Chain A
Amino acid sequence: MIPALGLIIGVVVGVLLHPDVPTWLQAYLPIAIIAALDAVFGAVRAVLDGIFDDKVFVVSFLSNVVVASLIVFLGDQLGVGTQLSTGVVVVLGLRIFSNVAAIRRHLFHA
């Protein structure tokens, strides 16, 4: 419950503060968000599987965000930034989908 509460409070604070995103960060923020969402859904599934570990979650979240941003940065330097972003989104999207499917099986047994 507490992590969900933390997520909601984070959203509320973000909406209320409404900070400006620096231009150099704008290309990476969406990718970082997708990577973070992947980590979150993975964590929810791990909780339902009974094998959740907070250290693994934090490390997987950080590494996801860093690696995703790195790929996009590398792509930008090579001139294929948008294509690599698409690739990252496809891979992370696939993972999110299958994790959500597993969560659904856990919750509804369907």
Chain B
Amino acid sequence: MTTRPARDPAASMSLITELMRNPLDPSYEDVARRKRAQGKATGGSLHSPLLVVTTLLIGFALAVAATALRVPKNQAQKDHDAIISRVEAGQATIDKNTRTITGLRKEIDARQNAALTGSDLPQRITTLETETGAGAVTGPGWQLTIDDAPSSSTDGQGDPRTSTSSQGRVTSSDLQVVVNGLWHSGAEAIAINGQRLGATTAIRFAGEAILVNFRPLVPPYVISVVGPSTLQSSFSSGTGGIYLDGLVQGFGVRRSMTAAPSLRLPALPSIELNYAKPTKEAP
């Protein structure tokens, strides 16, 4: 009785074993065996033109593939730097133009005042500029600081999106209610973190950030208010103050108020003239 040869225990792995054990093309062996059988020496010529052409081709293809398909390592960094420098250049232009505008506006004001001497118009213009936010305002008032609740702080990476608790975060609508309460209580001028609020200023949100005058604000939100001395008490008893109390007690939002004897609020960054009509006194 013949015993069958023991089955290779790793038969299921034969593909990999075959690959690892016999990586050489078997035809080399075949040709060599045939040559030995015919009594010729094994080992072909290394100088055949076919071989040279093939190696040339392989080298060429190698170089082409390497140069054409490789993605330059620091290309992304270069692009990033180029975009950043363009942004910075754009911001520098904006700053320069803003300064020019401010200078021109001052000149206009001076000429306006010079042209209107002897009438009550300059006084009216100043009042209107204060009310609309077109001019900077200096005066007594107080500062209301609102900050996110401590529990809503961002995680170690500073990524607010991984924070589990967004309950205690101050939202744009919170600020809207508070600001409307302040207007209602007789505020003459309001600025949040140095951004003056005008009649058409929107307090919006973009993602996690609150935008005022299309500029993102970071907490704490410092609301500077110029207004009469009764402002603080009438705000606290009004809807805005009650709403803010609810935020403080319900969500742990932090709030502090300080009276300021002299506040200086900047003018709005831009005022658009949408509507005008000639006065009766116009020539």
Residues of chain A whose beta carbon lies under 8 Å from any beta carbon of chain B: 1-4, 6-15, 18-21, 26, 29-30, 32-33, 36-37, 39-40, 42, 45-47, 49-61, 91, 94-99, 102
Q: Which residues of B contact A18 (CB under 8 A)?
A: 64, 67-68
Q: B275 contacts the other chain (Cβ, under 8 Å)?
A: no
Q: B24 contacts the other chain (Cβ, under 8 Å)?
A: yes
Are the C-beta atoms of B67 and A15 separated by less than 8 Å? yes
Give chain B nearest CB distance to A1 CB in angstroms.
8
Q: B242 contacts the other chain (Cβ, under 8 Å)?
A: no
Q: A7-B59, A10-B55 are in contact. Are A95 and B27 (CB under 8 A)?
A: no
Summed over the interface, the residue pairs from A and B with CB atoms below 8 Å come to a total of: 157
Q: A10-B62, A14-B61, A14-B63 are in contact. Are A95 and B23 (CB under 8 A)?
A: yes
Q: Which residues of B contact A33 (CB under 8 A)?
A: 61-62, 65
Interface size on B, residues (CB 8 A): 38
Q: A61-B54, A99-B23 are in contact. Are A9 and B59 (CB under 8 A)?
A: yes
Considering only CB atoms, which chain B residue lies closest to A50 in the complex?
B43
Q: B202 contacts the other chain (Cβ, under 8 Å)?
A: no
| Interface positions of B from 20 to 57, Cβ below 8 Å from A | 20-21, 23-25, 27-29, 31-32, 42-48, 50-57
Are the C-beta atoms of B20 and A56 separated by less than 8 Å? no
Q: How far is the CA of A49 from the CA of B42 in the complex (A)?
A: 10
Q: How far is the CA of A29 from the CA of B27 in the complex (A)?
A: 25
Are the C-beta atoms of B65 and A53 separated by less than 8 Å? no
- 18 further contact pairs, Cβ within 8 A, besides A11-B63, A26-B68: A10-B57, A11-B62, A14-B60, A21-B64, A33-B61, A33-B62, A36-B61, A47-B43, A50-B32, A53-B31, A54-B46, A54-B51, A58-B51, A58-B54, A61-B58, A94-B16, A94-B20, A99-B23
Among B19, B43, B55, B67, max chain A CB count under 10 A is at: B55
Considering only CB atoms, which chain A residue lies closest to B15 in the complex?
A91
Q: Which residues of B contact A61 (CB under 8 A)?
A: 54, 58
Are the C-beta atoms of B25 and A40 separated by less than 8 Å? no
Q: How far is the CA of A37 from the CA of B55 in the complex (A)?
A: 10
Q: A10-B56, A20-B68 are in contact. Are A53 and B44 (CB under 8 A)?
A: yes
Q: B71 contacts the other chain (Cβ, under 8 Å)?
A: no
Are the C-beta atoms of B19 and A94 separated by less than 8 Å? yes
Are the C-beta atoms of A94 and B23 separated by less than 8 Å? yes
Give chain A nearest CB distance to B182 CB in angstroms.
60
Q: B206 contacts the other chain (Cβ, under 8 Å)?
A: no
Q: A52-B44, A56-B28 are in contact. Are A98 and B58 (CB under 8 A)?
A: no
Q: A3-B51, A11-B63, A54-B45 are in contact. Are A59 and B27 (CB under 8 A)?
A: yes
Q: B69 contacts the other chain (Cβ, under 8 Å)?
A: yes
Q: List 16 A-B contacts (CB under 8 A).
A: A1-B46, A8-B59, A10-B61, A11-B59, A13-B56, A14-B62, A29-B65, A30-B65, A52-B44, A53-B28, A54-B45, A56-B27, A94-B16, A96-B23, A98-B19, A98-B23
Q: A52-B43, A59-B27, A95-B19 are in contact. Are A10 and B60 (CB under 8 A)?
A: yes
Q: Which residues of B contact A11 (CB under 8 A)?
A: 59-60, 62-63
Give chain A nearest CB distance to B49 CB in angstroms.
9
Considering only CB atoms, which chain A residue lies closest to B31 in the complex?
A53
Are the C-beta atoms of A58 and B58 separated by less than 8 Å? no
Are the C-beta atoms of B61 and A13 separated by less than 8 Å? no
Q: Which residues of A contact B58 (CB under 8 A)?
A: 7, 10, 36-37, 39-40, 61
